[in-house]
Amino acid sequence: MLDSPTRHLDPPQDPTPAMPPVTRFAPSPTGFLHIGGARTALFNWLYARHHGGRFLLRIEDTDRARSTEAAIAAILDGLAWLGLEWDGEVVYQFARAERHAEVARRLVAEGRAYYCYATPAELEEMRATARAEGRPLRYDGRWRDRDPAEAPEGVPPVVRMKAPQEGETTIADLVQGEVTVANAQLDDMVLLRADGTPTYMLSVVVDDHDMDITTVIRGDDHLTNAFRQTQLYRLCGWEPPAFAHIPLIHGPDGAKLSKRHGALGVEAYREMGYLPEALRNYLLRLGWAHGDDEIIPTDKAIEWFDLDGVGRSPARFDFDKLNHLNGHYIREADDARLAGLVAGSFEPAPSPAALGRLTAGMAGMKARAKTLKELAELGAFYVAERPLVLNEKAEKLLTAEALQALAALRPRLASLADWTAEAIEAEARAFAEAAGLKLGAVAQPLRAALTGSNVSPPIFEAAAILGRDETLARLDDRLAPP
């Protein structure tokens, strides 16, 4: 199976592991949960659920200056909304800083790490000359073997790991295959900052080890980090986890979607009126496929998901497809649930009666909306108080002839025996035929009068749901304007 090294490799661990996998999602709380992070979380969650393992959540808040409570809340809310529940307690990385520092100190004691007194200015100069000479931009290891006695006075040192300087480091990535880099490309990364706090590189390794993470599924942008981390695992005497670096999501312009480049938080998608199940389905299909299947509900996703289905090329985010999927899931969603979701967008909140009309009308509205926002606009006439404000197109529909027709139709509706969509339609058809009109010549004006718009759910159904009194009153508003 390993005869084709560029193809996906078998997992380093047993394909049917006795030990179920442990994955984690490890966002840094420096902003909202953006769409790329959401997909990473989804893949980790699906992988764990598929294999009967555990999915853990760790907040990487070691950057004290940029981490915020609000961001933590946004991440937790976003995951909850998406339905990606994690197992166990949330781990806060900063709380484990002492443990991380202890590992670094142990490494120094063992001679596997060292104190480095190079100043930021020196490092900047190193990078500048390296760039000028066409060499990799890396720390030159000037304190690696230097006698600590030479340490300058009053300069607080950082701790750097002693990375191997020769040979190469290879990771067997579950998505990318086997990837190798020359150790000369890498440098002695900082483990502990001058103030004694651990860096991300140290913290992830220690935490992933301590949390027994078996499979690290994360964005492609971490691929090069994996080499350094692998070296650190070895220095610590630990076995690295399996890695799976999934391709990033790009914006329409093909560049990495980031917080400052077009990426939106999941709450933005919620506000735009997307259903979590639709977003999940969409995100899943970005970079992962199961034959020709497009509509993949979550239970199927759990059943089918595995890392061998993940592609290696980045995907662009496409709202058109998301909209289509969202429309599909709206059509499938429960009417009362939809009415409840849509109710929130009305100000003031709809009355119980209005909510009832929304729910009753949902069947006719569902197929006409791609988002909950559109659904709300479509259903606004069920909630609106008389007299309705007509839009321009509706206004135009109500010509003198049209009003004449409505005036003639009114008494027939008033005396209708059954107030059902079928009965109303039959009456309208009979009336149109008798008056020598096309059905549209009656239905469109009626639509304008009852909904205030030229576009709506089936108008006879709408009239039925509105009720006879409301229907006649809305008609009268047009027939006899005050």
Partner RNA sequence: GUCCCCAUCGUCUAGAGGCCCAGGACAUCAGCCUUUCACGCUGAAGACGCGGGUUCGAUUCCCGCUGGGGACGCCA
State the catalytic residues. Answer: 259
Which helix or strand (DSSP H or E) is residue 262 part of?
Answer: none
The minimum distance between CB 169 and RNA, in angstroms, equals 10
Quick one: 71 or 347, whose CB is closer to RNA?
Answer: 71
d(CA 406, CA 431): 10
For residue 439, what is the enclosing H or E element?
A: helix 439-451
Measured distance CA(307)–CA(299) in Å, rounded:
17
Rg (CA), the chain: 31
CB of 90 to RNA, least distance (A): 14
* Cβ closest to RNA, residue 13 vs residue 30: 30
Interatomic CA distance for residues 441 and 419, integer angstroms: 21
- Tell me how far, at minimum, the Cβ of 351 lies from RNA, in Å: 25
Q: How far is the CB of 308 from RNA (least distance, A)?
A: 7
Q: How far, in whole angstroms, is CA 364 from its chain's centroid? A: 29
Toward RNA, which CB reaches closer, 68 or 180?
180
CB atoms within 10 A of CB 430: 11
Give, in order, the Cα–Cα distances in Å from 137 to each of 131, 132, 165, 403, 406.
6, 10, 15, 78, 79
What separation in angstroms does the CA of 343 have from each of 168, 275, 348, 455, 464?
Answer: 60, 15, 9, 20, 21
Question: In this complex, which beta carbon is closest to RNA, that of residue 194 or of residue 403?
Answer: 194
Which of 225, 224, 226, 218 has its CA nearest to residue 245?
A: 218
CB of 352 to RNA, least distance (A): 26
Q: Are 416 and 423 in contact (CB under 8 A)?
A: yes
85 by Cβ neighbours in 10 Å (0-12 / 13-18 / 19+) ranks as exposed
Please identify, using beta-carbon distances, which residue of 185 and 420 lies nearer to RNA.
Answer: 185
The two tokens of residue 131 are 């760039």
CB of 378 vs RNA, minimal distance in Å: 8
Q: How far apart are CA 197 and CA 92, in angstroms?
A: 15
Question: Which residues make Cβ contacts (< 8 Å) with residue 33, sequence separation at least 6?
Answer: 27, 41, 74, 75, 78, 79, 265, 266, 267
Structure tokens at 436: 């020598």
Question: Quick one: 442 or 482, whose CB is closer to RNA?
Answer: 442
Structure tokens at 113: 């790490």
CB of 206 to RNA, least distance (A): 13
Minimum CB distance to RNA, residue 461 (Å)? 6
Q: Which is nearer to RNA, 20 or 294 (CB)?
A: 294
Q: Which is nearer to RNA, 48 or 59 (CB)?
A: 59
Q: CB neighbours (10 Å) of residue 193? A: 15
Q: What CA–CA distance (Å, rounded) separates 374 from 383?
A: 14
